[in-house]
Amino acid sequence: MAYLFTSESVSEGHPDKIADQISDALLDNFLAFDSESKVACETLVTTGQVILAGEVKSHTYLDLQQIARDVINKIGYTKGEYQFSGDSCGVISLIHEQSKDINQGVDRGTKEEQGAGDQGMMFGYATKETENYMPLALDISHKILQELALMRRENKEITYLRPDAKAQVTIEYSNENVPQRIDTIVVSTQHDQFDADDDKMLEKIKKDIISILIPKVKSQLHESLQVLFDDDINYHINPTGKFVVGGPHGDTGLTGRKIIVDTYGGKGAHGGGAFSGKDPSKVDRSAAYAARHAAKNLVAAGVADEILVQVSYAIGVVKPTSIYVDTYGTSKVNLSDGEIAKKVGELFDMRPFAIEERLKLRNPIYFETAAYGHMGKEPQMVNKVFESPYNGRIEKEVELFTWEKLDAIDKVKAAFQL
């Protein structure tokens, strides 16, 4: 029997994502001026207020308030009528030094002996159903909101958009787990106050989303996926009605509240640990990236059509406590999932410091991860500039999304005789 599967995404202006972006901007600035910084910072945003909290061990000093304000303005909260703006909100910092009890398990005599920054299990997932090896429903949800944000900034074809938004896509699958059609698309977007009555306002928003936004999103997809858009899609556009009050004025936001949006949209699994605001010694983040890197290269090499990789750690211990693989019955090799997992452990060094080195994680590369997903984006080299009243100006060339590189295909093929 055919079945439906749904994933959602949220925009960069969603309160929880504002918090994630502030936390990762703080992390990037600490790493830019001191690459050995240990950072675990959280952010809360609400009406007219930002609260920064957490633990940091670093040799640098930053203007944390200004960094937070710059992020808020960059997202687009720049107007008084939003009841939240980068120039007028209050910013309180409660960040303090990291516990020495935790740090003693991480820092060792040599970097190679670096222990895991926490216990827990992390997951990586990949599937062949999209070109970027991401679940289709999540990929389309991200694209809807990325395009919506672009149109908001251009302010040409749709001129009433505000930063807060959510999208949700439901895909109909066959018994063979092949996407058949898009069943439902939900888009809720914050907007300016209209002069027209509510019914006319909602009618215009729905028309603009369906006739202007969706075709732009469809054109970004491979031809084989464009056919999934038919005339029978159920659209729910701003289904609750008017959405003028939004952002932190409408809903409090916290770092780490969108972990499923950040990863695989409900496909695969999640260990529960959030990413944003954490330096790579925290395996919640680094090991999740390493597991994605392994899963993506395994699928791209032809080991299976769909793969889940789990890795687990004990705090302060160098080697993982376990590596697990699930191919969902799609394996193309004559090995059990347990045997595949053993080879994964041989192919991919999952010790914390080895992950940091392999994926170049002690660089200021994290702000770009904090909206529209940490997985599935294109690896790229960029120049980033950081300025501080205490440390001056620094420019760094860094590589983003290294865990998305298909740089292990050859060794995977050799190992599995593909």
Asked if residue 103 has pLDDT above 60, the reply is no
What pTM value is reported for the model?
A: 0.95
Give the pLDDT confidence of 62-87 residue by residue, as tens digits. 999 999 999 999 999 998 888 898 99
pLDDT at 42 over 80: yes
Neighbours of 146 (CB within 10 A): 19
pLDDT score of 1? 65
Q: What gap in Å lies between CA 263 and CA 245, rounded to an integer?
A: 28
Q: Give the model confidence (pLDDT) of 399-417 as tens digits.
A: 999 999 999 999 999 999 9
Kindly tell me if the per-residue pLDDT of 108 is higher than 60. no
Is 278 labelled a binding residue?
A: yes
Whether residue 99 is predicted with pLDDT greater than 70 in this model: the reply is no
Of 361, 357, 267, 252, which is closest to residue 306 (Cα–Cα)? 267
| pLDDT for residue 182 is more than 80 | yes
Assess whether pLDDT exceeds 70 at residue 102: no
Is 397 annotated as contributing to ligand binding?
Answer: no
CATH for 120-128+280-416 is 3.30.300.10
Determine if residue 177 is left, alpha or beta; phi over 0 gives left, psi from -120 to 50 gives alpha, anything else beta: left
Q: What is the pLDDT of residues 141-174, one digit of tens each?
A: 999 999 999 999 999 999 999 999 999 999 999 9
Please count the other Cβ atoms lying within 10 Å of the Cβ belonging to residue 153.
10
Average pLDDT over residues 222-249: 92
The response to whether 243 counts as a known ligand-binding position is yes
pLDDT cut 70: percent of the chain above it: 96
Tell me, what amino acid is at 90? G
SS3 74: helix
Does residue 262 have a known ligand-binding role? no
Q: Determine the length of the chain.
A: 418
pLDDT for position 334: 95
Angle at alpha carbon of residue 328, lines to 323 and 330, rounded to 5°: 110
For 15-79, list the strands marked E by DSSP.
38-46, 49-57
Under the banding of pLDDT at 50, 70 and 90, the label for residue 101 is very low
Digit-coded pLDDT (tens) for 299-325: 999 999 999 999 999 998 889 999 999
pLDDT at 96 (0 to 100): 87
Average pLDDT, integer, range 255-267: 97
42 annotated binding-site participant: yes
**Is 377 among the annotated ligand-binding positions?**
no
CATH of domain 3-9+136-245: 3.30.300.10
Whether 305 has a binding-site annotation, put simply, is no
Q: What is the pLDDT of residue 316?
A: 87
Query: Domain extents for the chain?
Result: 3-9+136-245, 120-128+280-416
Check the annotation: does 55 bind a ligand.
yes
pLDDT single digits (tens) 127-138: 999 999 999 999
Supply the pLDDT for residue 116.
79
Of all residues in the chain, what percent carry a pLDDT higher than 90?
85
Q: How confident is the model at residue 397 (pLDDT cuts 50, 70, 90)?
A: very high
295 among the known binding-site residues?
no
Asked whether 307 and 297 are in contact (CB, 8 A), the reply is no
- 251 marked as binding residue: yes
**Mean pLDDT taken over the chain:** 93
Average pLDDT over residues 33-49: 95
- 194 labelled ligand-binding: no
Asked if the model's pLDDT at residue 111 lies above 70, the reply is no
Distance of alpha carbon 296 from alpha carbon 213, whole angstroms: 30
Domains 3-9+136-245 and 120-128+280-416 share a fold: yes
Own/partner long-range contacts of 190-196 (Cβ < 8 Å, ≥24 apart): 190/13, 190/161, 190/162, 190/163, 190/164, 190/165, 190/243, 190/244, 190/246, 190/247, 191/160, 191/161, 191/162, 191/238, 191/243, 191/244, 192/160, 192/161, 192/162, 192/244, 193/244, 194/160
Instruction: State yes or no: 118 annotated in a binding site.
Output: no
